[in-house]
Amino acid sequence: MKSVFPSMSRTVVASLITVSSFFAGAVHQAQAERLSTSVTPRHYTLTLTPDLKAATFSGVETIEVTLTEATKSITLNSAEIQFQSVTITTGGKQQTAKVSSDEGKEQTTFTVPEELSAGEATIQVGYTGILNDKLRGFYLSKTAKRNYAVSQFESTDARRAFPSFDEPAFKATFDVSLVVDSGDTGISNGPIVADSPGPGDGKHTLKFLTTPIMSTYLVAFLVGDFQCTEGESDGVKIRGCATPDKVALTPFSVEVAKYVLHYYDTYFGIHYPLKKLDLIALPDFEAGAMENFGAITYRETALLIDPKTASDGAKKEVALVIAHEMAHQWFGDLVTMQWWNNIWLNEGFATWMENKPVAAMHPEWAIDQQVAADEDQTLGLDAQPTTRAIRAKADTREEIEEMFDGISYGKASDVLLAVENYLGPETFRKGVHTYLAAHVYGNATAEDFWGAQTETSHKPVNKIMESLVAQPGEPILTFGEPTSGSVSVSQRRFFLSPSIQPDPAQKWTIPVCFKEIADKQSCEVLTPAGASLKTPSGSLFFANAGGKGYYRTSYPADVYANLVAHVETGLTPTERISFVGDEWAQVRANKATVGDYLNLVTAFKSDPNAQVVSSAVDGVGAIYERVAATAEERAAVGSWLRATFSPEYAKLPPPSERDSPNISEMRAHLFGILGYYAKDPAILTQAHEITEKYLADPASVDATLGQTALAIAARNGDAALFDQLQKVAETSTNPELQEGSLRLLAEFEDPALVQRSLDYAASNKVRNQDALIQFAIALQIDATRDAAWRYIKAHWDTIKNLLTPELGSSLVGSAGAFCSVEDRDDVKAFFASHKVPDTEHALQHAEESIDGCIELRKLQQPNLDKWIADQPK
């Protein structure tokens, strides 16, 4: 599953990712009590009949099970289901079962009068359920014209659609039939193998091919008037599907999927195991996407693209989400984690893997630089006062849902990247194949994976990965002067807060790769007892070749100065991103000053890579928003940015259709710096001019620049522009334009328009999947934060009804954008008395974020004032 972040300015996105990384799950807390292993399912036969007008459905189900011991009762999972009839047959004898349900445990027990003998048994169930509005289970999705029935079962919501053994290790095969209106179609995991009329007038029954062995959370049912475009790759039929008004936006995704499927077939050495692959865009969908086996579902913005008007960033994001979910067809679907405590085996792998085919398909997108920037964000997350190990306790529903966070996705991916870099890509690929081949259609653990890598490589991968997976946090490596082919090194846990003292006993076993000439590297393994490492010869000492190591670095003053002097000539773009990220981390930890950091950024001002400049300026944005406390301080930072980057912007040619994605992104990024932070009058004027052209005809303006200009114009916009964007949000059939316009409504700073935006977000004109995002954005922006917080508190009865499993945590986490003791105490007190289910971690991180801002400002504001005073007048 791919989590979703708001489409907003880069600074806000970075802040939201850092503040609110722990996503929550169910609307109520329920114990995820484990089922007995004495009953195991082999096969499900399901016939579902949804009533789209009444928002209900009926089901007829047969479950073939194996009993390892004699019993009178069988317990499985169910939620929000009304049982009509239940029988159990074994040894040729059918018995009617009594039904008793435990709503808290989401379990139901079937009890028969006479003992069931060990062996094979058949459970037959007739039941009804609801098509809910909570974006989970079998639920209702709506457009202006009609209703749809769609599904989202990860992690524990298949039980809302059919009684089941709803745990990942209880794999089985599925025969699915859907009884739908005569004008509708259905989509499930397999292709349609039969279409027959009835039962009843105006209905037809669609029967789908039996699935492979798989977990319940990967089953999918979708009913409506979906239309699709088609393609083929390696003998597999690929379809991109959407509502009829948006099917024209699916061809881009089909082309990406065709490339990715062939790439994965080749890389894994295991052919995609199904006959078809559908990618379906849904009008209402909480996450970014979901990897249902053979029937992947997406938010519309994560799949649908108009290449004529799409920004490079939107194309890149769609391609990455497609590649992420398709990677799950192997990592997660074909081979599934044994239990949710190892969800990183799904999400970490898919996050790591998604970059490979996209980088190969579009080298001009510089995916490796985005990976380096993402790793820097993850290191920031993992250095907070409270974090967790990659593998952690996940027994309750709440604990399971909170595993879908920046650690399972980001850190796990970065650990895999570090190990791959240490072993070499081909050796690592062989280990991946060995792991997958050994567990096809089965379940696996972390030990299974690193055991396969250790066996294949004959290197201590087991010790390295256990060290990184089982421990929370990250190390900082402090190097001495390199001499005579070696360098002294010490390690300790790194925290962003200088007030936290790490446990000196916590150490890691990690690969450390040193840069050599011609972009080669030499890797050594640092153990907990290690105090020195061998180093290659060469004039430039850099201890994170490729920027792929999962650690921070600290160098002696002369080594650091030499790196700064050669940062543009001696380091690759990914290494520069790692280097500047480590320096900002030192500022946060009070080992360097904001002046040191701003001076370093000067060395990057002419860097030709948009992502490098963006990563460097991210720290400046944090100084502007989190260190500077007065209008005068912010004006001084803005003035410096204008003096530093205006000449670089002036060097760029006018926009052209021939521009590379890097040039387009560089132009847009510098434009954003000068418009948002520097408030350059000429840029503000251009922003309004470009906005007028872009809204009149999106194809007439470079989309990357047009969207940046629109964001700047919105911050400074009037009611007329607000009205224009609201109209686009309500009427556009282009998801990128529609959602982008909606998000920008939350960024207007005029007080009257802030109020309009908040009222609009709380209205029924905004979908559940989007409403809380609007409030989260407003909480992230200085000019709207106080008004948004007052509104949330005053209208809590309305807000709480908008809560969805994932986005409730984003709302709570976004309150971490405050930066005062009074606001922290207010946030803490409010959510203590107005609890948002499953947001314990998000609230803790919000409070820690506020404390971190208070501490950072207290320590670094005097340094900022000194730096400002030292600037040439």
Question: What positions carry a catalytic annotation?
Answer: 325
Residues 373, 309: contact at Cβ < 8 Å? Answer: no
What are φ and ψ of residue 385, in 5° steps?
Answer: -55, -35
Please give, one letter per residue, the 3-state secondary structure of 101-136. Answer: EECCCCEEEEEEEEEECCEEEEEEEEEEEECECCCC
Q: What is the DSSP string of 633-649?
A: HHHHHHHHHHHHHHHHH
Bridge partner residues of 117 (DSSP)? none
Sheet harboring 532-534: ordered strands across? 532-534, 486-493, 475-479, 552-554
Distance CA 801, CA 342 (A): 32
Helix (H, G, I), strand (E, B) or coil at 337: strand
Q: Give DSSP secondary structure letters for 708-747.
A: HHHHHHHHT--HHHHHHHHHHHHH-S-HHHHHHHHHHHTT
**Contact indicator for 264, 234 with CB cutoff of 8 Å:** no
How many residues are given for the chain? 873
**CA within 13 Å, CB half, 428:** 15
Tokens 């105006």 — which residue?
202
Enumerate the β-bridge partners of residue 127.
59, 83
Contact 592, 608 (CB under 8 A): no
- Number of helical H runs and strand E runs in the chain: 29, 28
CA–CA gap between residue 544 and residue 474 (Å, rounded) = 14
Distances from the Cα of 621 to the Cαs of 618, 763, 773, in angstroms? 5, 33, 22
CB 646 within 8 A of CB 593: no
In whole angstroms, how far apart are CA 473 and each of 17, 365, 410, 648? 17, 31, 13, 38
Among candidate residues 168, 177, 100, 110, the one with its CA nearest the CA of residue 331: 168
Cβ 463 vs Cβ 471: under 8 Å: no
Q: What angle do CA 537, 538, 541 make, to 5 degrees?
A: 100
**Residue found under tokens 């940062």:** 567
- Are the C-beta atoms of 107 and 33 separated by less than 8 Å? yes
* Tokens read off for 17: 């990712």
Tell the residue number behind the tokens 């859907």, with chain if given: 178
Give every CB contact of residue 242 below 8 A, 6+ residues apart in sequence.
226, 227, 228, 249, 250, 280, 281, 300, 303, 304
Inter-residue contact 309 to 737 (CB < 8 Å): yes
Is 505 within 8 Å of 529 (Cβ atoms)?
Answer: no
| Alpha-carbon gap, residue 618 to 630, rounded angstroms | 20
Which of helix, strand or coil describes residue 190? coil
Alpha-carbon Rg for the chain in angstroms: 27
